[in-house]
Amino acid sequence: MSVSAASHLSPSYPDRAAWGTAPKLRAWQQEAFDLYFRHEPRDFLTVATPGAGKTTYALRIASELLSRGVIRAVTIVTPTEHLKRQWADAAARVGIGIDPEFKNSQGATSRDYTGVAITYAQVAMHPALHRARTEARKTLVIFDEIHHAGDAKSWGDGVREAFEPASRRLSLTGTPFRSDDSPIPFVTYVEDGDGTMRSASDYSYGYGPALRDGVVRPVIFLAYSGEMKWRTRAGDEIAATLGTPLTKDQLSQAWRAALDPKGDWIRQVIHAADRRLTEVRRGVPDAGGLVIASDHESARAYARHIRTVTGEGATIVLSDDPGASKKIKDFSASQARWLVAVRMVSEGVDIPRLAVGVYATSTSTPLFFAQAVGRFVRARKRGETASVFVPSVPVLMGLAAEMEEERDHVLGRAQPEDGLDDSLLERAQQDRKQPDALGDELPFQTLEASATFDRVLFDGGEFGTAAAPGSPEEEDFIGLPGLLEPDQVASLLRRRQADQQAAKRRKGAQEPAPALAPHEQLHELRKELNGLVGAWNHRTGQPHGVIHAELRRACGGPAIAQASAEQIKERIAMIRKWATQRR
């Protein structure tokens, strides 16, 4: 093992560092490293946004502890089989031999290895074995995405039993929050003053600071609504417009119709995403795209759509595919355009060239959304941007607007946070038999599903107006240059928004504008308020969620998704008043 080699590992393994950072540790990695060795605690929780470089940071600590003789072995615990191999590859680069093929039935590994990489499920199956291994040698246990230790009671109990005697425990996560009350082992919780317990990290580095440091890419969300029509099992035909206020049952079915491979919505969105990828590749020639699907059947169907659109096949990665890890590694090193996957690449998997995504899954928890978007944010060169295509669904729009908000795991919360969790969708995700299914209790046949460009979300603001696929209005945003600084992205979006609004005004001067329907009026008011909140965030640095909460305290009323037109107008007036008074 070489400390020197560890000190020269790329800050953003497995690819080269973000511009201007190699070969030294990034500032946050060095700061967290110094903090760790200032106190040398037995337990240390590091929360760092996906793509920030947690692997490099953790291996640098492991190398230092090994060189000092504080530990003699390393155990790395991961959520998936693929991540075991990814960690072993990274560790090998700094001279730490990690066995990613270790099986419980072996009992011990070769002397050639300093340690093993195992999964949380593996630990839960035989915690006594891993406890004995931990007691045999002074061991550092690295928990990759430690929140997974709360996925099931057996997992949490197994992790506690196996690694309670560890000399050191380093816990890593990009998303410490969970949608349930399952406590995460070896994580400290502190009372929040309102009867709840909140996870406390020892070091935290969120998406907002990482974006300002150039460590991650800015994300442009392109939202698509559309007309959906389906037939229920009872024979009733129902039509709805995705992106307009709907009941929970209507929303779940309209969303499912949009993702149905037999409908036009997903075909049109994939086509738009591929046009976006072509534009991005003008500045980033190896840029790749990822479609995140809900199930295996849909993944294969989406791949067929991609072949029709592009003339070339897509790499398909399925969770039960024994060759999945090799496919991911080969795709990462290739120039191929598209990868289609079911959940497997939503967390931890590093394919730095991914720059365009299609969120074609019904999974809607904050945890999954943040991890999925995290696949696209790793910055390799100055000016790279990420583009993620999403359905116009309120819960996803809320999550996209709050990208920079940092959240902790909270125990004992009475109800979901405003705008973050839809109880119907969350219950669907908690069904472990069908973790990816939404609305299966509402069987139906998709009759029609067409897409309409809705708007762009960036840095908490909303830009653009409804437009048909392939229209010049849509092309204004699909055709954004692939290499732009965050302030250039915002400036260009504002300019294109202004151009479109001016064109509408010119057209309106010639034609009397029709009265807006109530849902259209609410849509425009919400867009205006979110844009003002984004501007206020730039001025004050306050997270968007905090600004919305302050507006609610000042004006009263429910969350923005439930607020009336008058209540939203009042908040718009209030934030404009702040702008004039707080110069």
- Residues 439-493 have pLDDT tens digits of 444 466 898 999 999 988 887 778 887 888 888 888 888 888 777 777 777 778 7
DSSP string, 35-57: HHHHH--SEEEEEE-TTS-HHHH
Q: What single-letter DSSP state applies at residue 144?
A: T
Identify the CA nearest to 314 among candidates 348, 270, 279: 270
Average pLDDT, the chain: 81
Q: What is the pLDDT of residue 60?
A: 95
- Which two tokens mark 318? 């399925």
Q: How many CA atoms lie within 13 A of 241 on its CB side?
A: 10
C-alpha to C-alpha distance for 140 and 115, rounded to whole angstroms:
9
Q: What is the pLDDT of residue 491?
A: 79
Query: Which residues are CB-contacts of 292 (< 8 A; sequence separation ≥ 6)?
Result: 341, 342, 343, 345, 346, 357, 358, 359, 360, 361, 372
- pTM, to two decimals: 0.71
Q: What is the pLDDT of residue 102?
A: 95
C-alpha to C-alpha distance for 217 and 199, rounded to whole angstroms:
27
Q: How far is CA 419 from CA 395, 428, 518, in A?
A: 6, 17, 21
Which residue stretches of 182-263 are H helix? 207-212, 248-259
Identify the CA nearest to 410 among candidates 202, 200, 201, 198: 198
Q: What percent of the chain stands above pLDDT 70?
A: 81
Q: Quick one: angle between helices 248-259 and 423-430, nearest 10?
A: 60
Question: At 285, is the secondary structure helix, strand, or coil?
Answer: coil
Q: What is the 3-state secondary structure (H, E, C) of 227-242?
A: EEEEEECCCCEEEEEE
Greater confidence (426 vs 176) lies with 176
Query: Which residues are CB-contacts of 554 (< 8 A; sequence separation ≥ 6)?
Result: 571, 574
Residue 507 binned pLDDT confidence (cut-offs 50, 70, 90): low
Q: What is the pLDDT of residue 431?
A: 35
Q: Give the model confidence (pLDDT) of 558-572 as tens digits.
A: 888 788 889 989 998
Residues 351/359, Cβ–Cβ less than 8 Å: no
Residue 337 binned pLDDT confidence (cut-offs 50, 70, 90): very high
Q: What is the pLDDT of residue 98?
A: 96
Identify the CA nearest to 387 among candidates 545, 256, 279: 279
Greater confidence (200 vs 349) lies with 200
Identify the CA nearest to 294 among candidates 511, 439, 156: 439
Residues 53/21, Cβ–Cβ less than 8 Å: no
- Which two tokens mark 544? 């968007």
Q: 73: which strand partners?
A: 139
Count of helix runs (H) and strand runs (E) in the chain: 20, 19
- Which two tokens mark 556? 């009263």
Q: How far is CA 354 from CA 235, 303, 319, 341, in A?
A: 42, 17, 19, 13
Greater confidence (436 vs 250) lies with 250
pLDDT for residue 421 is more than 90: no
Residue 45 binned pLDDT confidence (cut-offs 50, 70, 90): very high
What amino acid occupies position 452? T
Question: At 575, is the secondary structure helix, strand, or coil?
Answer: helix
Q: What is the pLDDT of residue 505?
A: 67
Identify the CA nearest to 70 among candidates 4, 134, 137: 137
